[in-house]
Chains A and B, each alone.
Chain A
Amino acid sequence: MKEDLLKSLKSLTDDLDGSVQKVQTEAGLSELKATYLGKKGRLTEVLKGLGKLSSEDRPAVGAKANEIKNIIEGRLRSALESLQRQSIAKELAQDTFDISLPGRTEVVGNVHPISQIFAEARHIFEGLGFATCSGPEIEDDYHNFEALNIPADHPARDLQDTFYLKDGRWLLRTHTSTVQIHIMENQGAPVRMIAPGAVYRCDSDVTHTPMFHQIEGLWVDDRTTFGDLKGVLTLFIQQMFGDGTKVRFRPSFFPFTEPSAELDMSCHICAWKNPSCPVCKGTGWLEILGCGMVDPAVFQCVGYDPEKITGFAFGMGLERMAMIKFGINDLRLFFENDLRFLQQF
Chain B
Amino acid sequence: MLASFNWIKDFVDFKADAPELVRRLAMAGLESEILSQPGKGIDDHVVTAQILKIDKHPNADRLSLCEVQFNDEVSPVVCGANNMKAGDKVVLARPGAKLPGGLVIKVSKIRKVESQGMLCSESELGLADTSEGILILPPETPLGLPLTQALDLGDTILEIEVTPNRGDCLSIQGLSREVAANFHLPFKSNETPTFHEATGKSQVEVNVRSQERCGRYACRVLSGIKVGPSPQHVVRRLESCGIRAINNIVDATNYIMLETGQPLHAFDLKEIRRGQINIRTAESGEKMKTLDGIDRELNCEDLVIADGERILALAGVMGGEDSGVSEATTEILLESAWFQAGSVRKTARRLGLQTESSYRFERGVDPSGCVAAINRLTEVILEVAGGKVLGSTIDHYPDPVRPIEVTLRPSRIQRILGIALEAPEIMTPLQALGISGEAGKGGDYHFQIPTYRSDLNREIDLIEEVARLYGYDRIPATYPSIHLSELLQAKGNSFDQLDHIRTLLTGWGFHEVLHYSFTSHELLKKFSQEFSEEQSLLNPISEDQSVMRPALFPQMVQTLQSNVFKGNKDLRFFELRPVYRFDREGDGKRPFQESWHLCLGMSGARRSPHFLEKESATALKEFKGLTLLDLKGYLEALFHRCLPGIKIAEGPLNLPYFHPNRQMSLTLQTPGTQGETVAGGFMGRLHPAVLAEMDVPVPILIGEIYLDLFLTEWKNSIQFEEISPFPTIWRDINLIVDEKTPSGEVLRVIRAQGGLWLRRAELFDLYRGKPLEAGKKALTYRLEYGAKDRTLTDEEVNGSREKLLEQLKHTLGATLR
Interface residues of A (CB under 8 A from B): 101-102, 104, 106-112, 114-115, 119, 122, 129, 131-134, 136-138, 153-156, 158-159, 163-168, 170, 172, 183, 187, 190-193, 196, 198, 200, 202, 204, 209-211, 219, 221-228, 230-232, 234-235, 248-253, 258-262, 281, 293, 295-296, 310, 334-340, 342-343
Cβ of B190 to closest chain A Cβ, rounded Å: 28
> Chain A residues near B518 (CB, 8 Å)?
210-211
- The CA-CA distance from A259 to B508 in the complex, in Å, is 48
A339/B563 in contact, CB under 8 A: yes
Task: Determine if B812 is an interface residue (Cβ-Cβ < 8 Å).
Answer: no
Task: Determine if B232 is an interface residue (Cβ-Cβ < 8 Å).
Answer: no
B517/A155 in contact, CB under 8 A: no
Which segment of B330-338, B534-542, B670-678, B754-762 sits at the interface?
B534-542
- The CA-CA distance from A107 to B341 in the complex, in Å, is 60
B541/A210 in contact, CB under 8 A: yes
A258/B461 in contact, CB under 8 A: yes
**A221 and B517 in contact, given A253-B163, A342-B511 (Cβ under 8 angstroms):** no
B529-552 vs A, Cβ < 8 Å mask (1 yes, 0 no):
000011111111100010010000
B468/A111 in contact, CB under 8 A: no
- The CA-CA distance from A210 to B541 in the complex, in Å, is 8
8 contacts between A and B (CB under 8 A): A109-B572, A131-B493, A166-B536, A192-B488, A227-B419, A293-B416, A337-B562, A338-B562
A253/B559 in contact, CB under 8 A: no
**A296 and B460 in contact, given A137-B578, A219-B480, A259-B467 (Cβ under 8 angstroms):** yes
Q: Which 4 A-B pairs have the closest CB atoms?
A: A225-B418, A251-B29, A227-B418, A253-B163
Give the residue name and chain of the A residue nearest to B573 (CB).
A337
B475/A339 in contact, CB under 8 A: no
Which segment of B85-93, B269-277, B498-506 sits at the interface?
B498-506
**A253 and B165 in contact, given A111-B512, A138-B548 (Cβ under 8 angstroms):** yes
**A343 and B493 in contact, given A226-B417, A226-B418, A253-B163 (Cβ under 8 angstroms):** no
- The CA-CA distance from A200 to B580 in the complex, in Å, is 15
- The CA-CA distance from A138 to B90 in the complex, in Å, is 64
- The CA-CA distance from A115 to B533 in the complex, in Å, is 31
Task: Determine if B606 is an interface residue (Cβ-Cβ < 8 Å).
Answer: yes
> Chain B residues near A338 (CB, 8 Å)?
562-563, 566, 568
Task: Determine if B719 is an interface residue (Cβ-Cβ < 8 Å).
Answer: no
> Chain B residues near A159 (CB, 8 Å)?
164
> Chain A residues near B362 (CB, 8 Å)?
155
Task: Determine if B346 is an interface residue (Cβ-Cβ < 8 Å).
Answer: yes
- The CA-CA distance from A231 to B509 in the complex, in Å, is 40
Task: Determine if B647 is an interface residue (Cβ-Cβ < 8 Å).
Answer: no
Task: Determine if B415 is an interface residue (Cβ-Cβ < 8 Å).
Answer: yes
- The CA-CA distance from A93 to B729 in the complex, in Å, is 43
**A164 and B472 in contact, given A122-B495, A281-B33 (Cβ under 8 angstroms):** no
B406-450 vs A, Cβ < 8 Å mask (1 yes, 0 no):
000000000111110000000000000000000000000000000
- The CA-CA distance from A224 to B342 in the complex, in Å, is 35
> Chain A residues near B611 (CB, 8 Å)?
101-102
- The CA-CA distance from A156 to B473 in the complex, in Å, is 26
> Chain A residues near B461 (CB, 8 Å)?
258
> Chain A residues near B577 (CB, 8 Å)?
198
Task: Determine if B781 is an interface residue (Cβ-Cβ < 8 Å).
Answer: no
Task: Determine if B571 is an interface residue (Cβ-Cβ < 8 Å).
Answer: yes
B540/A163 in contact, CB under 8 A: yes
- The CA-CA distance from A153 to B350 in the complex, in Å, is 12
- The CA-CA distance from A68 to B112 in the complex, in Å, is 121
* CB-contact partner of B537 in A133, A166, A295, under 8 A: A166
> Chain A residues near B485 (CB, 8 Å)?
131, 187, 190-192
- The CA-CA distance from A158 to B345 in the complex, in Å, is 10
Number of interface residues of B (CB under 8 A): 96
Give the residue name and chain of the B residue nearest to A225 (CB).
B418
- The CA-CA distance from A281 to B511 in the complex, in Å, is 34
> Chain A residues near B606 (CB, 8 Å)?
106-107
A153/B479 in contact, CB under 8 A: no
**A260 and B473 in contact, given A202-B541, A230-B478, A231-B479 (Cβ under 8 angstroms):** no
Cβ of A93 to closest chain B Cβ, rounded Å: 23
Task: Determine if B464 is an interface residue (Cβ-Cβ < 8 Å).
Answer: yes
A164/B537 in contact, CB under 8 A: yes
**A250 and B345 in contact, given A102-B610, A132-B495 (Cβ under 8 angstroms):** no
Cβ of A194 to closest chain B Cβ, rounded Å: 10
* CB-contact partner of A296 in B26, B458, B591, under 8 A: B458
* CB-contact partner of A109 in B419, B508, B563, B610, under 8 A: B508
> Chain B residues near A166 (CB, 8 Å)?
533-538
> Chain B residues near A153 (CB, 8 Å)?
341-342, 345-346
> Chain A residues near B526 (CB, 8 Å)?
none
> Chain B residues near A114 (CB, 8 Å)?
514
- The CA-CA distance from A211 to B516 in the complex, in Å, is 6
Task: Determine if B515 is an interface residue (Cβ-Cβ < 8 Å).
Answer: yes
Give the residue name and chain of the B residue nearest to A112 (CB).
B512
**A210 and B545 in contact, given A226-B417, A334-B514 (Cβ under 8 angstroms):** yes
**A251 and B610 in contact, given A109-B506, A136-B592, A228-B418 (Cβ under 8 angstroms):** no
Task: Determine if B740 is an interface residue (Cβ-Cβ < 8 Å).
Answer: no
* CB-contact partner of A259 in B464, B483, B576, under 8 A: B464
- The CA-CA distance from A101 to B614 in the complex, in Å, is 14
- The CA-CA distance from A128 to B566 in the complex, in Å, is 44
B101-142 vs A, Cβ < 8 Å mask (1 yes, 0 no):
000000000000000000000000000000000000000000
> Chain A residues near B534 (CB, 8 Å)?
165-167
> Chain A residues near B574 (CB, 8 Å)?
109
> Chain A residues near B487 (CB, 8 Å)?
187
* CB-contact partner of A253 in B26, B166, B472, B568, under 8 A: B166
Task: Determine if B28 is an interface residue (Cβ-Cβ < 8 Å).
Answer: yes
Give the residue name and chain of the A residue nearest to B487 (CB).
A187
B491/A131 in contact, CB under 8 A: yes
B345/A155 in contact, CB under 8 A: yes
Cβ of A26 to closest chain B Cβ, rounded Å: 36
- The CA-CA distance from A159 to B461 in the complex, in Å, is 21
7 further A-B pairs in the complex, CB-CB below 8 A; given A112-B512, A200-B517, A251-B468:
A102-B610, A107-B570, A109-B508, A132-B495, A165-B592, A225-B415, A259-B472
A250/B163 in contact, CB under 8 A: no
> Chain A residues near B545 (CB, 8 Å)?
210
B477/A156 in contact, CB under 8 A: no
A191/B488 in contact, CB under 8 A: yes
Give the residue name and chain of the A residue nearest to B415 (CB).
A310
**A137 and B594 in contact, given A104-B612, A109-B511, A343-B511 (Cβ under 8 angstroms):** yes
B416/A111 in contact, CB under 8 A: no
Cβ of B220 to closest chain A Cβ, rounded Å: 30
A337/B515 in contact, CB under 8 A: yes
